[in-house]
Structure 1
Amino acid sequence: MTAPTLLIAGTKDRLYPLDLAEQTAAGIPGAELVLYEGLGHRPTLTDKRLARDALAFLLKSEGRQGQAGV
């Protein structure tokens, strides 16, 4: 996989445990893993700002922030 990849996980996720999220991120070259302390599965549904902030981080790290259509 060569596309920028962002994995988002909660540290209290019982459906997709932290160790599995870390293994998944390690298996994707250049992947970023963003962890949200104390949250469970699908932390971005808990707080929509988390998704926005994580996506902004990915776009900034890829130099794509502010481009049209992104």
Structure 2
Amino acid sequence: MVGLAVADPDHGGPRLAGAVVGAVGALAGSWLFYLARKSVVDRTGLPDLVVALAEDAVTVSSAFSVVRSR
């Protein structure tokens, strides 16, 4: 979604750039959120599922914010 928002082909945006931005963002976000979730679980003792659901909520709301701003 973010790659499409960055390079909208309907408005002349380059499709390859959108795909690259989307892929890099997905990889970076996945890795960073994994490390953050692991740290929160280790420090607080909360179940991984609870922290994972909170992570998903943050991720989805962030994606909607980026898409809406375009």
Where on the TM-score scale, by shorter chain, does this alignment land: which range? 0.3 to 0.5
User: What TM-score does the superposition give when structure 1 sets the normalisation length?
Assistant: 0.34
| TM-score normalised over the length of structure 2 | 0.34
Give the structure with the larger strand fraction.
1
* Higher-Rg member (1/2): 2
